[in-house]
Amino acid sequence: MLTREAPLQLDGPCGALEALYQDLPEPRGLVLLCHPNPVQGGTMLNKVISTLQRCARDSGLVTLRFNYRGTGASAGEHDMQRGEIEDAEAAATWLRAQYPALPLTLIGFSFGGFVAAALAGRLEARAVALDRLLMVAPAVGRLEPGDLPQHCPLVVIQPEADEVIDPATVFAWSQGLGRAHELLKVAECGHFFHGKLGDLKALVEPRL
């Protein structure tokens, strides 16, 4: 059992992917975390991703977070389209191999919300069962038709004062989804949840 996250180098499509893995005794599930836009400084150490990792850990879930290609010590160059989804898929494959019988949850923040959603759609199309998909302040404008899974439980958390992702765009996207999901609005909260990480934790933990 690991008492803290262990640094790893995972095999990715463009070479090694830098990652942090936390194992637990008798875990009840797995969580893969996808970080925000690497071109704008996003990494797996982002404070929102770190908060989400702790939420998952405290809920009894094994966690894996990783840096996309060209971020931190991960090999390759930024793609900002489908490449990061391929990186996430490689990370998910590794994580699922550690505990093949445990359910997988995907969590993404900002650009990572797009990555997690598109990965969820890919996995669902391959008959990989997902426990849930959780998107936080997601970059929904990057999603293409058919990206989103249709069956796994979906939770969307959107700050109402988001200065990076237009809240109205997310709310309109949510309204037009045509599938069951939960939309949670966080009042007086900006994109990075400054002063609101406790509120984020309070929303996430009961849903894990």
List of residues 6+ apart from 92 with CB closer than 8 A:
32, 104, 106, 119, 123
Measure the CA dihedral 45/130/124/128, to 10°.
100
- Write the pLDDT tens digit of every residue in 47-58: 999 999 999 999
Specify the pLDDT at position 80. Answer: 80
The highest-level CATH class for domain 6-207 is alpha beta
Mean pLDDT in order along the chain per 10 residues (208 residues): 84 97 96 95 97 97 97 93 94 97 98 97 95 98 92 97 98 95 98 97 97
Q: Residue 191: how many CA atoms within 13 Å on its side-chain side?
A: 17
Q: Is the pTM of this model over 0.95?
A: yes
Specify the pLDDT at position 189. Answer: 98
Specify the pLDDT at position 2. Answer: 53
